[in-house]
């Protein structure tokens, strides 16, 4: 750590804060509870999580999900998104619903990474936080892909 780094660590606080800054910091303290992505992360963390992940991506409507090779077009992403939403909403079992959510979030990440567009009506900070949390639970190479998307809009 260089001197500048040590200065950063030793700073006694974030400096003068206006109302907006305090609000932003307070927001960081709010517990995100019962988000669908939390159940997805729990599924990924189970003993067979990686096997389940491969299966969920392998059974996706496009080979891109598993390989991340090539860039789906905007039209393809829109189609993938709609399919994922239907799966998430209507699948009979929990694993299938979570697979739908996984694909949905992959499509959102692709929109950010390939098109620079947020293909979701959710607020960008919320999507970013969701993708960030998902990225930490994913193995390579998907973790970097999702993390890159999470960081592209914030």
Partner 1 sequence: MSKEADKPDAFPKTMGTWIDKQLQEGSVGRDVVNSHIMSVYAHPLKIYFLGSSLRTLGEPDDMVDGFFASRLQKESYFDQWKESGLRLRRWLINGFLFHLKEEIRRQKRHGDSSLDHELHSPVDASPDLDFDRAWAMSMVQDAWRDAASSCDEEGLGNHWRLFIRHHVDGVPYKLCVEEFDVSPSQAAVMVRTATGRFKNALRMRILLDGLHEDDVDGELLRLMEIMQ
Q: Which two tokens stand for residue 10?
A: 């030793």
Interface residue with partner 1, options 12, 69, 75, 92 (CB under 8 A): 12
| Of the candidate residues 17, 86, 94, 124, the single one contacting partner 1 (CB under 8 A) | 17
The answer to whether residues 101 and 126 touch, using CB atoms and an 8 Å cutoff, is no
Number of residues that bind partner 1 (CB under 8 A): 41
Asked if residue 83 lies in contact with residue 107, where contact means CB atoms within 8 angstroms, the answer is no
Q: How far apart are CA 115 and CA 73, in angstroms?
A: 9
Instruction: Using the rule CB under 8 A, give the single segment among 44-52, 69-77, 78-86, 134-142 that binds partner 1.
Output: 134-142
Let me know: does 58 contact 66? Beta carbons within 8 Å.
yes
| Chain residues in the site for partner 1 (CB under 8 A) | 1, 5-6, 8-15, 17, 19-20, 22-31, 33, 132-133, 135-136, 138, 140, 143-148, 150-152, 154
């Amino acid at each position: 750590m260089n001197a500048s780094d040590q200065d950063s660590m030793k700073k006694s606080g974030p400096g003068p804060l206006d109302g907006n800054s305090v609000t932003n910091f307070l927001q960081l303290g709010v517990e995100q509870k019962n988000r669908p992505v939390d159940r997805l992360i729990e599924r990924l963390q189970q003993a067979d999580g990686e096997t389940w992940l491969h299966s969920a991506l392998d059974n996706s409507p496009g080979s891109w999900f598993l390989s991340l090779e090539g860039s789906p077009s905007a039209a393809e992403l829109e189609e993938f998104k709609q399919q994922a939403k239907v799966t998430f909403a209507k699948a009979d079992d929990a694993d299938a619903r979570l697979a739908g959510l996984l694909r949905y979030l992959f499509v959102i990440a692709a929109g950010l990474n390939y098109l620079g567009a947020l293909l979701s009506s959710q607020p960008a900070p919320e999507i970013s936080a969701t993708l960030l949390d998902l990225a930490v639970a994913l193995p390579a190479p998907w973790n970097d892909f999702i993390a890159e998307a999470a960081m592209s809009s914030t």
